[in-house]
Amino acid sequence: MKRGVVTMEYIAHKDNERVQTVKEHLYGTAELAGFFAERFGKKEWGYCCGMLHDLGKYSKEFQRKIRNDTGERVDHSTAGAKVCNEKGGYYSILSYCIAGHHAGLPDYGNTAIGNSLCGRYNKKICDFKNYEKEIEIPQLHTDPIVFDPTKNLDFSLSVFVRMLYSCLVDADFLDTEAFMKNENTGRVAGETMQILEEKLEQYIEPWLSNAELESINGRRTEILAHCMEMGKREKGIYRLTVPTGGGKTIASLAFALRHAVKHQMDRIIYVIPYTSIIEQNAQVFREILGAENVLENHCNVEYKDSEEFYPMQLASENWDKPVVVTTNVQFFESLFGNKSSKCRKIHNIANSVVIFDEAQMLPMDYLKPCISVLQELVDNYASSIVLCTATQPALEMFFSSKDKMIELCPCVEEQFRFFERVTYEKIGKISQDELIMRMQGDQSILCIVNTKKAAQELYKKLREERKNIYHLSTNMYPKHRKRVLKLIRERLDNNEKCIVVSTSLVEAGVDLDFDIVYRQIAGLDSLIQAAGRCNRNGKKDLAKSKVYIFDFIDEKKVTNQKLQIETAASVIQDYEKVDDLTGISDYFKRLYHYRGTSLDKKNIMGEFKQMRFNFSKVAKEFKLIEENTKMIYINKELKAEELLNELKTKGASKERLREAGQYCVQIYGDERNENSLFDKLYSNGMLRPISEDMQDFYELVSQKQYSDEWGLDFSVDDVLMM
Residue range 615-645, pLDDT digits in tens: 999 999 999 876 678 899 999 999 999 999 9
Question: Could you tell me how far CA 421 lies from the centroid of its own chain?
Answer: 31
CB 579, CB 571: distance < 8 Å: no
Q: What is the pLDDT of residue 670?
A: 53
**Separation in Å, CA 164 to CA 102, 205, 287, 570:** 14, 42, 35, 46
Element at 104 (helix H, strand E): none
Q: How confident is the model at residue 477 (pLDDT cuts 50, 70, 90)?
A: very high
| Three-state DSSP class for residue 431 | coil
What does pTM read for this prediction?
A: 0.92
Average pLDDT, the chain: 90
Q: How confident is the model at residue 2 (pLDDT cuts 50, 70, 90)?
A: very low
Residue 368: pLDDT over 60: yes
Residue 675: pLDDT over 90: no
Residue 4: pLDDT over 80: no
Nearest CA among 157, 202, 172 for reference residue 36: 172
Q: What is the pLDDT of residue 132?
A: 94
Would you list the DSSP string of 287-348?
Answer: HHH-GGGEEEESTT----SSTTTHHHHHHHHHT-SSEEEEEHHHHHHHHT--SHHHHTTGGG
In sequence order, what are the beta bridge partners of 698? Answer: 632, 689
Q: What is the pLDDT of residue 302?
A: 62
- Higher-pLDDT residue of 704 and 303 is 704
The pLDDT tens digits for 184-235 are 776 778 999 999 999 999 999 988 876 676 788 889 999 999 999 999 999 9
The overall longest dimension of the chain from CA atoms, in Å, is: 88
Contacts of 227 (CB under 8 A, 6+ apart): 240, 251, 252, 254, 255, 258, 408, 409
Residue 112: pLDDT over 50: yes
Q: How confident is the model at residue 308 (pLDDT cuts 50, 70, 90)?
A: low
Q: What is the pLDDT of residue 671?
A: 45
Q: From CA 416, how far away is CA 49, in angstroms rounded? A: 51
